[in-house]
Structures are given as structure tokens and as C-alpha cells.
Chain A
Amino acid sequence: MYGLKPDPCVLEVPDKYYSTGDYEKGVARWCPGCGDHSVLSAVQRLCQEKQLPPEKTVFVSGIGCSSRFPHYMKTYGFHGLHGRAFPVAEGVKFRRPDLNVFVVTGDGDCLSIGAGHWIHSIRYNMNLTVLLFDNQIYGMTKKQTSPTSPMGTISNTHPHGSVLPPINPVQSTLGVANVSFVAQTADWIPGHLYATIKAAHEHQGFSFVKIMMRCTKFLPEQAKQMVGDKEHMTLLQHPDGIEVDMATANLFKHTVQHDPKDINKAREYSEDPDMFYLGLYYQDKTAPRYDLYGAHNLGATPEQKLQVLEEEFDKFAV
């Protein structure tokens, strides 16, 4: 255990070709029709396309239906505490630049109990791919109001309808210092979902993807309504945005050109009460990254450590 080995954090060229099956584990125990299934397929497809070595890929989650995700990936996984996926993922990434780290979190997990960590994780801007499964309800604990439940949502904690306006995660994320990538997609538009997760993974920094999810079990009416509603959905398009194929683009009734460098316009779209915009709201490739700081002094030799200790002992010597 204490053998002296050189620091192993070096990128390796994969010597094996992975199929999607190499990333699949077990049978996902989500309800039939739950949006989580489609994200799982999209992520497995991404891993395969990018040929991410399973041993170098870590899925970190909190607690909730959505946070079960890592159990269905044949990679490393960390299914931790409710609301605390971000700190764990940050700790994993801090000194392991060689690992591909994904964060899977729910609307309660990220925006309620984990809200403090969420805000700070945006600011740390570490190279993490963050998937917010926003089903607007607490699924795991059986239908309590979530911070994103629309006002008036009937739930077990608000049987007469929820009484507060919801948090808007895209808007809030865009308001945090050092934000570097914000996108929105929906679980029922697979082409867009895949393209968005792929763009998020390719972004070198904290990529925040809010995924609009159906909860067919607890909010079936809403799920049906969302899927059928083309009137209130607009595709954001731009050469620097998220590229989707024609078939996917054709699913949208409305499209708009949006430069992801324009944060003011991004905020404006995020605040539109009558419209959901899917695509890349904002991207800043130059925002300072805390994981680069974390990796900047890796690999100190035992001799260097000894030298620092001896220098310190000299300072304290009598």
C-alpha cells in the first residue's frame, strides 16, 4: 500500500474499442416513461462516441430518483448524499485532471438542499459536466413540492397548490460570477438532448445543463402537456451554439438566432415567462478554472516534500 509509485495521472491512449454495452449496467429501475431513461441512453451513447475509458470516468450524484443514475453506468460512480454531489465531484476532479467527471442531480438535490454548493460550483468553474434532471417535483420521496414546481402545483406537502413562484435554474446560474456554460434541453427530444450533453462534455469548464424532465408518475398531466406543446418552445441557434440535425430542428415551430457570448440576451431569454428556449444560452471559454489551479502542482517528488519540511523545521529550530 505504501509503495513509492510515480504519479499515474497521465493520459493514456485507449487500447480497447468500447461499445455502448461497455457502459451499461443492470436494469434501470425508473418508472416506465420517466425521462431519466432517455438521459441514460444519451449519456451511454456519448461515452461510446467519445470512447471514454470506463475506468477514467466518474459519475457523481446526490440522492433522488435521478441520482440513482451512476448505478446504471459501468464506470466508476459515487452515489453520495442528498444535495452534496458538487463538493464530492469537485474533490474528485481537483487533483485528477485525467478523470472525466459527470454530476447527476435533481431539482431538489441541486436547487434546494444543495443550493449553496450549486452556486459555488458555478464559481469554481471546474471541468465538470452537470446534468440537472428537473422534473419539477420530488420523485424519490413521493410527490412533494420542489423548488421548480410551478406555482399552484398540487403535491403532498401543498395539497391546495404550492404558494411560491419557482426558482428558475437557468436564470440563477446565469447570475453567478464566473459562469461558463449554460444550456437547456428536454428529455423527450433525443436529438437535442444528445447534442446538448455532447457540447457540455466538450466544454472545458463547468457545463450546466438543465434538462426538462417528465415525471409521468406524479405529474402525468404536466408531462403530457409539455411534450405536446410546440407553441412555447423555441430553438436557440448559432454557429457557436449547439448544432442539431435537420430532423431535430424541424421539430421546433420557433427558432431564434442567439450568440452564446451575449449574456444579456441569454438572461432575457431565461426570464421569458411565456417561452422555453432550448440550446446554448451562454458560453465563456476563458473563465478561470479552479481545477487547473488544483492540478498546477501535481507530482511533487518525495525529495521536494522532504526539502519543504526541512526548511520549515529550520524556521522553527531553536
Chain B
Amino acid sequence: MSGQSTTTAGPVPATRERTTLSEHIVEIVSDSGEGAQKAGQSFGAISAKMGNGVWTVEIIPSDIQPPPRTKESASGIRIRIGSGVVSNAGDEANIVVAFNEIAPYSRIEQGAYQKGTKILLESMWASHDDEEVRENYARAVADFKRLGFEVYEIPMQEECLKVVPDARRGKNMWVLGLLCQLYNRDIEIAADQIRHTFRKKSQQVVDVNLQLLQGGFEWAGKHLDFLYDLPPTLGEIDQVVMNGNEALSLGVIASGIEVCSMYPITPATSASHHLAECFERAGGLVHQAEDEIAAIGFAIGSSYSGKPAVTITSGPGLALKTEFIGLAVMAEVPLVIIDVQRGGPSTGMPTKVEQSDLLAVLYGQPGDTPKIVLAPSTIEECFQFVILARQIAEAFRTPVFVLTDSNLATGVQPFARPKPRKEWFAPPIDQSPWPQGLNPYEWEPSNGISKRPIPGQRGGEFTVTGLNHNKEGRVSYLPEVNQRSSTMRSRKLAAFARTLKPPRIHGDDQGDLLVVGWGSTRGAIEEAVDRARAEGIAVSSLHLRFMSPFEPELKQIFSRFKNVVTAEINYSDAVDDEFVPAEHRRYAQLAWVLRARTLVDIGCFSNVHGQPMRPKSILDAIRTITQPQNA
């Protein structure tokens, strides 16, 4: 680092070379409350506006009030930017901006950095009054160097104090300026972003933050001996940028649903927070029930009365809803159930990602409970699939699940601004008299669908019951009646499956290996497949969005590959576990179902690290699996 003083401001000298990149990963880590996340979100928004691909994800501290300057208190944000579309959070970070020397440690433990990662470290701690702090700092710098990171000590505090009296508030915007310089961002777009962020604050606040931005921008221009360029290729289209839970929330409004009945649970709750802010103006309401059982019961009551409803939850809440899910299937009440999956079983890891509710959703209720299950794989699909789910729920008179996870819930990605249509809002409610002589469960034999009477419809009066019933809705335990009603409920799935197209294959439609995934892992899997293909490996991938019923022709597709494995974030016994005989191996959840469905010997690559899958780990798995064939 050069140690010159900063007296003049101005553009980067023309002599400075910028290294052109196709993509990069930046992390900003700090104690919670220092604004790292705001800086990162702004940086992502500025980049998206310029036409770059972006994926951001927050790094959340594990405790609610952790003591400052501890590993537990590390919070922050990861921003991955690319010239083109970015579909996942990627592998190790390239640049880390650290507000103190302790914050990087927990990320290092999680393998988030690698040799050569540049750590831009706040240097104020080197001259702190407390000797222990100074020693800590020196030790950390030595640790980081020993681990192969490049450390750049940066006087953030000192520089910020030139603009503000309290640098703890404001450092984040200075860092934003630094990053804008580092990645050749358009400073005017950055300034606009600041004006937008602080639009509800006074002009003075806006000005101070603009000065901080400019300060960081200029400082980096003069002092950093490396600068990058990340030329955008996506062009300027109308985009929105949000996380998956916000997308779900807007999907709820766009779907015409009027009631969201929920009980708070991480990581699903933030969807209801957003909804609570704007739903009311759109004629909807969030009902916070006394527990998850009541939440789904309330939603069922609402939907039964002709007011479309959704219930949003996560694993432990899903467990409580079990009996009502069975009732909704049995009584044929349309309903949208969103499960934002987290680590399990039991209370598990509330803030960590897992995809381990698939089997619970498919088979978790006593008795036969056929249902339709969708799994969005992008933030945009979180929005679209809620709309789709409500339409399917009503068309097929059945509960429909939308399975997302905390990776989608917290991941932020830009996507084309949706164009909502009025038809999406149409209420199901039909209050014209019920056709005379029509039964409440007049199942159409070919598809199991029947027309549903709604309270208020004269002539449609009948009693919903969770007891087995015949087409007249009357309780019956006769063998042939129970067989018939079960068949009719099941037939809806077959009918729905007939409307689906075979899934698109990413890569060639034959080869040595097919990687099958579902949900939030899509970006990482496809990226890993692209890299492997560039290495000459004959691998493709396939991402399922319909988990029940599956999209058609899976068996035919699988038959064209020598090997098929799923990549999933849930538990499986390691294939080489010396204590687990092969015949007792427990597979990952999608693998179980696909094996049963297709009778293909499908393997799986899975873990329960609680982390989004990284492209690199999938790439390693691809290499290992295909190695014998390559050799």
C-alpha cells in the first residue's frame, strides 16, 4: 500500500490499468449494526442497474445480541456480480471488506475464502487504546497472511472522520464508494442509489452520505494498486431486485389470494412481514394465528368460504399442520401452502438452508394424501409459482404446495419486472344458484375434478367432512365407496401430470452423467455442469420444478445417461461409509422418490452443512463420479 496523504481528488490516473473480469465475489463483514448489508445491497442494485448480473445473500449472525468483536457477531453480505446472469452465490470470495479483524474468522471456518482472497481490513484497530485489541489485530493480520490471503490495511475510520463525527455510522457508504471505484461503477448511478436509499431522510443526511461515497471512491482511486472492470452485457431492461420471500409475498397479492394465515417462524416470516405492509391496501389481510394448526385451519375456512388463502411456514410448522393438510385433501378444499425450508429435524437450524421437507410434504400425512407440489428454482419463480399454485389449487380443488428454502428466501437477484394481469385476481366465488341435482363431489371420472359449492350458493348446501364420503358428500365406510373416492382424489394428479411437458435438459441430452436437482440449487448445479463440460466431461443437468406429480418422460431421459445422481441439500449416507452396508444406504430425498418412480439406480450427492451448495463442490462431485469412465 502506498502511504501518501490524500489531498487532491480526481479521476483515476489514465495510467492505471484495470483488470477485466467476467465475474467476482465480494463480501462485506462487520459487527451487526454497522450497515454492511445496506452497502452490499446498494452495490448490488447499482450493478444491476448498469446491466450486470447480481446475486446477493446476507450473512446473518448466529445469535440475537452477540457481543461485538466476536466470531458470533460477524454479520454482513456477499455480493456476486457478473458480466452476464448470476444464478447463485458462488464459491470462495475474491474480495473481503472487513470492518474488524475478527469478523472474517467465522467465514474462514465456513470455507468462504481461499488462498489469494484479498482482505481489505479496517486498520483503526492497529492503534487502538486497548493493548489487547492491538495484539488481536496483529495476530489476525499474521493469521490471514499465513493462510494465504492478501491483506490490505485501510484507514476507513480515519478517512470517514474527515466527513462525519461518528464513523461507525457512515463507514458503509464510504466502503460503497471504494467498491464502486474498485469495480468501475458509474458514480452517478451510485449517487442516485444513495438518494433513493435515503429518500425519507433529510437533505443533510443525503449530502453526508454522498460525501462519504465520493470519499471512498476517490481514496480507492488513489491508493488501491489493483482495479477491475466488469463490463455489463445484460443491457437495460426494466428490472426489479428482491429476495425470494419478498417475491413470494408479491406473488400472493398477484395471485388474487386474499388471506395469508400464518404463525411466525424463521425463515418464512419475512414473507408475511412484507405482505403485512402492503396487502391491506390491495384488499387482503395477514392473520397471525395462535399457532400453525390454527393458521392452516383458518386458511381452510377462508378458502372454503370462497376467499382464496395461503398459509406460509417452515419445517416445525409444517409438522403441526399435518392433520389439516389431510383434511384439505380429503375434503377437497383448495389451498396454497408455502414451506420455506430450513435445517431439520426438530428446531434444527432455523437460519440455515436445507431441502429436507420433500418427503414430509409428499408422504407426511397418515392415509393416502395425493397433492400437487411445486418447487421454484429462482427468485422470479418464487413470484410466479404462487400465482400458478392458486390457479391449480382451484382448478383441481386441492391443496398445492410451494417448496422454497432459506437460500431463496434470503438470496437477492434482479429479474424482469413482472406484468401482472387482472385475470389473476379473479375470485373463485360463485354465488349463482347451484345446479339442481348436482352433487358436491360429482367427480369427473377422467380427472377426478368436481365442482365445489361455496356458502352463499343456494341449493349447494352440504356438509364438508373429513370422514370418508361418497359423491353426495355423505359419510360412508363402504369398501367400494372408499376405494372410489380415493381413486378420484388420486386421479387429479394423473390429470395434472398430463398437462406437463418433459423437463428441459441443461447440456446434451445424453452422456456420462446427469445431475438432477430441485429448488434453490439450480444456479450452482448448472454452473458446475458448465465448468465440467468445459473440462470435457460429458455431463448434463436437469432441474425439476414439479415434485408431485413429476414432469413426464424422466425414465426415458435417465436411460440416455450412464449415471444419474441427484444433488440436494439434505441427508444421505455417504456412499463409501464403512459402517453402512450398501443395501442399508439411506439416499437423499429426491433420489428416494426418483428411484421408486423410475426403477433407475440413481445415486445422490448431498450434505447437511446448512450452506447453499457451491458450484465447486458439485464440480468436484461430478469429477469424482465420472472419473472411472474418463480413466
Contact = CB atoms under 8 A, between A and B. Distances in A.
B420 A309 contact: yes
A82 to B, nearest CB: 9
Interface in B448-473: 453, 455-467
Given A55-B461, A309-B420, A81 B466 contact: yes
Name which of B285, B323, B420, B461 has the most chain A CB atoms within 10 A of its CB: B461
B305 A96 contact: yes
A308 to B, nearest CB: 4
Contacts of A2: 391, 423, 426, 428
B242 interface: yes
B461 A318 contact: no
Given A1-B395, A304-B282, A91 B301 contact: yes
Given A84-B293, A87-B294, A309 B282 contact: yes
A4 B290 contact: no
Contacts of A87: 289, 293-298, 301
B402 interface: no
B280 interface: yes
Given A5-B430, A99-B456, A80 B327 contact: yes
A302 B256 CA distance: 9
A304 B466 CA distance: 37
B254 interface: yes
A304 B279 CA distance: 11
A53 B48 CA distance: 57
A75 B464 CA distance: 11
A77 B238 contact: no
Nearest to B457: A55
B307 A304 contact: no
Interface string A67-98: 00011011111111100101111111111101
Contact of B422 (A54, A293, A300, A306): A306
A318 B239 contact: yes
Nearest to A74: B461
A268 interface: no
A100 B281 CA distance: 27
Contact of B429 (A5, A119, A300): A5
B87 interface: no
Contacts of A79: 463-467
A4 B423 CA distance: 7
A84 B298 CA distance: 9
B297 A81 contact: yes
Contacts of B394: 1
B517 interface: no
A43 to B, nearest CB: 14
B281 A92 contact: no
A310 B300 CA distance: 29
B324 interface: yes
Contacts of B49: 318
Contacts of A94: 259, 285, 287, 298, 301-302, 307
B424 to A, nearest CB: 8
Interface string B42-62: 000100110000000000000
Interface string A152-194: 0000000000000000000000000000000000000000000
A308 B48 contact: no
Contact of B414 (A89, A91, A318): A318
Interface residues of A, number: 64
A97 to B, nearest CB: 11
A55 B459 contact: yes
B230 interface: no
Contacts of B239: 317-318
B258 interface: yes
Contacts of A8: 429, 431, 456
A257 interface: no
A313 B418 contact: yes
Interface string A45-63: 0000000011110111001
B363 to A, nearest CB: 20
A272 interface: no
Contacts of B303: 91
Contact of A5 (B48, B280, B287, B427): B427
Contacts of B242: 316
Nearest to B280: A297
A85 to B, nearest CB: 9
A54 B45 CA distance: 56
Interface in B373-400: 391, 394-395
Contacts of B289: 87, 120
A143 interface: no
Interface string A294-316: 10011110111110111111001
A195 B460 CA distance: 30
B131 interface: no
A117 interface: yes
Contacts of B97: none
B240 A317 contact: yes
A300 B282 contact: yes
A214 B462 CA distance: 28
A7 interface: yes
A55 B456 contact: yes
Given A55-B459, A91-B297, A91-B299, A78 B304 contact: yes
Contact of B309 (A75, A89, A91, A297): A91
B417 A302 contact: no
A116 B298 CA distance: 14
A305 B253 contact: yes
Contact of B301 (A1, A56, A90, A317): A90
A75 B456 CA distance: 10
Contacts of A78: 301, 304, 463-464
Interface in B82-99: none
The 3 closest A-B CB pairs, nearest first, are: A300-B283, A91-B301, A87-B297
Interface of A: 1-5, 7-8, 53-56, 58-60, 63, 70-71, 73-81, 84, 86-96, 98-99, 116-117, 119-120, 293-294, 297-300, 302-306, 308-313, 316-318
Given A91-B298, A95-B259, 11 more contacts: A1-B395, A77-B461, A78-B463, A81-B324, A91-B305, A94-B287, A117-B293, A310-B420, A313-B417, A317-B417, A318-B49
25 contacts: A8-B431, A53-B458, A54-B461, A55-B456, A55-B461, A75-B461, A77-B461, A78-B304, A78-B464, A79-B463, A81-B323, A81-B324, A87-B301, A90-B298, A91-B300, A92-B301, A94-B259, A94-B301, A95-B307, A116-B290, A300-B282, A304-B283, A305-B425, A309-B418, A312-B278
Interface of B: 45, 48-49, 238-242, 246, 250, 253-254, 256, 258-259, 261, 278, 280-285, 287, 289-291, 293-307, 309, 323-324, 327, 391, 394-395, 414, 417-418, 420, 422-423, 425-431, 453, 455-467, 475
